[in-house]
Structure 1
Amino acid sequence: MLDKPFRIAVDAMGGDLGPRATIPASIEFANLHPSVHLRLYGDPFALAGLKLPSNISLQESSSVISMDESPSNALRNKLDSSMALALASLAEEVPFDACVSSGNTGALMAIGRHFLGTFQHLKRPAICKAIPTITGHSYMLDLGANATADASLLVNFALMGSALCEEIDEIRRPTVALLNIGIENSKGNNLIKEAHEILSQNRQLNYAGFIEGDSIYSGDVNVIVCDGFVGNVALKVSEGVAKMALSQLQGAFHQNLYGRLLGQIARPLLRKWHKQFEPARYNGACFLGLNGCVVKSHGAADERSFLYALELARDMSAKRLIGRLTEQCANQLIE
């Protein structure tokens, strides 16, 4: 079955590895999906002399947004950058279907809002992604777009996350929870309590109350809501613990003969665990609330991880996800 002729814009310069990850991943993706057109935006020297499939085109950019650049400076002075040109393609007269970047998160949001705008009544978008759980996956937002969020913004995150889960997983009335330091109504700061009160009275949502950090990966709820500071810290801590656990296991299996024998016996189980929870497989998060399909890849993404982000952009485009979410969230989001 042939792919539909989607067009995806790629910020080839974004991320810690830049073209060393984005270009080979784009080539592999283009070969896997010959009817999907990719346009790579980047420095002419980085893109020069490449042997590319016929469904990849190149567009030169005059600048690059660094990973530590302030979003305000990027918005004022870097609209000729690879990231900005890729985002602008979503607002062309004949727009591209999606944009993928591993670049500066704050700049991606600021420039994305500049070119695309947000859903009606939504002040700021959220970074949302699927996270692995014991039972499958859940969706978590915000994961870093908003270091702080007031109660109304958290409520809107809950509404958008619920709509996303319904559209992608076809779950009717998915369960939604607020991430908190306890499950009791008395726990949490005033902002969390205010959001909890509003969500408890919202009949559009299947609100399940609070969830604690140790239950994030339990699969008990479909959508987990928090501000970007808490969400990003929780995600990075989880990644660190997973790396440490894997490193400790590998070390134990190489310490002595008994360990090596045990490692051989456990290898199929470890391979299954790694396949289920491997971070690369879950690379790629959408900027939920922008009027365009913008996929944020991890800043440290390698070639394989970036390929998964491209696949996510293709899947979102195939499902016409942003248009469907815009329709579903109309008249639901609060000011």
Structure 2
Amino acid sequence: MRLPRIAVDAMGGDEGVRVMVEGAALARRRHDRFKFLLVGDEVRIKAALETHPGMTEASEVLHCEDVVGGDEKPSRALRRAKTTSMGLAVNAVKQGDAGAAVSAGNTGALMAMSKLALRTMPGIDRPALAALLPTLTDDDVIMLDLGANRECDARNLLQFAVMGAAYSRIVTGRESPRVRLLNIGTEETKGTEDIQEAAARLKAATGLAMTFDGFVEADKINRGNCDVIVTDGFSGNIALKAIEGAARFVTDLLKNAFSSSFRSKVGFLVSRPATELLKHHLDPNNHNGAVFLGLNGVVVKSHGSANAKGVANAVEVAARLLEDDITNRIAQDIGALSASGLTAP
């Protein structure tokens, strides 16, 4: 398969052009078949490309000086979709000039632009933001929604489960990923009416490429006992931020502890291999690249503070989803779900 090129919003994120181009270059060093459409200030992008051998030949630059602000309201960003680097990157996917778009810019604006330009797939009411989170096992867990939809009904959660399972089959290789709903307890009586209704529909579903394993509490998200965790965007975003905060807390706590005395510094040298492994596991750059599932096209959101390694991972997520045809996989699974009659309001 010839991999379509990937449109990169080179102006998005905390550091913009330098990190975005460096990340794309790192991804291409790992996978020399990658091609790019870099959207942003042409002078700055070409200057950055000169420091990365082979990137100039693998890239086309689409000049654009307008940037979506980090705190800009999605409604205002939408009105400037045709003039901003983010909007032009997403539009390249719509026009077929790129297979996927990657941006580290404003999440709300990126979702609004992507939804307007690419539209939701037939059978999908709302797209969801999904990301890979580390676990104690060798496989990551997919969690969605992480902020695209504040309120979700049972029908939305059911569709999220199908989309998450399709993504998980690509990542884990499992034919029937284990799916759970995030809840305040594992008992069947716990949770809102929508969560209980979604659970009942998932239990009744047949012919879907997933295994519904009931509920999971927030403290078990990273245990590795399931492959997909489904929730509404409000709860999902809070859970994600709590996990990220806990990871930073543990890292800073260890840093302070190992620098508190001479004996502690010696202890650090002895335990350095273990602490480096922990640091690697907790580094969000190693799991960077959230995906908007349910759209007629692939859009990947990189963390705004991601470094070059993080951006490279986001680019690789986009490429993998293109190669494994995530959109078609979801379409087939949603078709099976619709045929079951379980998506009725």
TM-score normalized with structure 2 length: 0.90
Structure 1 residues 245, 168: CA separation in 2 closer, same or farther (over 3 Å shift)? Answer: closer
Aligned to 1:21: 19
Residue 89 of structure 1 aligns to a residue in which SS?
A: helix
Letter in 2 for 1:58: V
**2:40 paired with 1:42:** yes
Equivalences for 1:125-136 in 2 at 5 Å? Answer: 125-136=127-138
Where in structure 2 are there 5+ consecutive unaligned residues?
none
Runs of 4+ in 1 over 4 A off after TM superposition: none
**2:319 paired with 1:301:** no
Letter in 1 for 2:22: P
* Displacement after TM superposition at 1:213 (Å): 0.6
**2:334 paired with 1:332:** no
Which deviations, in whole Å up to 9, do the C-alpha atoms of 1:128-163 show, x marking residues without a partner?
A: 111111113111101111122111101100111112
* Displacement after TM superposition at 1:77 (Å): 3.2
- Is the 1:147–1:228 contact (alpha carbons within 8 Å) kept by the matching residues of 2? yes
CA distance in 1, matches of 2:33, 2:189: 55
* Displacement after TM superposition at 1:24 (Å): 2.0
Q: Tell me whether 239-248 or 48-57 shows the greater mean CA deviation.
A: 48-57
CA distance in 1, matches of 2:197, 2:62: 47
- Tell me the number of residue pairs that the alignment of Structure 1 and Structure 2 aligns: 332
Aligned to 1:120: 122
Aligned to 2:106: 104
From 58, 66, 71, the counterpart of 1:63: 66
From 160, 166, 186, the counterpart of 2:169: 166
Structure 1 residues 218, 32: CA separation in 2 closer, same or farther (over 3 Å shift)? Answer: closer
Structure 1 residues 197, 327: CA separation in 2 closer, same or farther (over 3 Å shift)? Answer: closer
Residue 330 of structure 1 aligns to a residue in which SS?
A: helix
**2:205 paired with 1:202:** yes
**2:190 paired with 1:187:** yes
Structure 1 residues 292, 210: CA separation in 2 closer, same or farther (over 3 Å shift)? Answer: same
Which deviations, in whole Å up to 9, do the C-alpha atoms of 1:195-220 show, x marking residues without a partner?
A: 22222222234211111011000111
Aligned to 1:232: 237
Aligned to 1:320: 325
* Displacement after TM superposition at 1:95 (Å): 3.9
Residue 7 of structure 2 aligns to a residue in which SS?
A: strand
CA distance in 1, matches of 2:186, 2:47: 57
Letter in 2 for 1:151: A
Aligned to 2:269: 264
Letter in 1 for 2:198: A
Residue 133 of structure 1 aligns to a residue in which SS?
A: coil
CA distance in 1, matches of 2:288, 2:60: 24
Letter in 2 for 1:235: L
Where in structure 1 are there 5+ consecutive unaligned residues?
none
* Displacement after TM superposition at 1:48 (Å): 5.7
TM-score normalized with structure 1 length: 0.92
Residue 337 of structure 2 aligns to a residue in which SS?
A: coil
% same residue: 37
Structure 1 residues 326, 187: CA separation in 2 closer, same or farther (over 3 Å shift)? Answer: same
* Displacement after TM superposition at 1:43 (Å): 3.2
Across the aligned residues of Structure 1 and Structure 2, the Cα RMSD in angstroms comes to 2.0
CA distance in 1, matches of 2:26, 2:167: 28
CA distance in 1, matches of 2:247, 2:224: 17
* Displacement after TM superposition at 1:104 (Å): 1.4
- Is the 2:127–2:292 contact (alpha carbons within 8 Å) kept by the matching residues of 1? yes
Residue 40 of structure 1 aligns to a residue in which SS?
A: strand
Structure 1 residues 20, 95: CA separation in 2 closer, same or farther (over 3 Å shift)? Answer: closer
Which deviations, in whole Å up to 9, do the C-alpha atoms of 1:167-191 show, x marking residues without a partner?
A: 3322122111110111112222222
Residue 64 of structure 1 aligns to a residue in which SS?
A: coil
Aligned to 1:87: 90
Letter in 1 for 2:131: K
* Displacement after TM superposition at 1:117 (Å): 1.5
Residue 63 of structure 1 aligns to a residue in which SS?
A: coil
CA distance in 2, matches of 1:90, 1:314: 13
Which deviations, in whole Å up to 9, do the C-alpha atoms of 1:307-329 show, x marking residues without a partner?
A: 11112112222222323332333
CA distance in 2, matches of 1:31, 1:213: 37
- Is the 1:30–1:38 contact (alpha carbons within 8 Å) kept by the matching residues of 2? no
Aligned to 2:156: 153
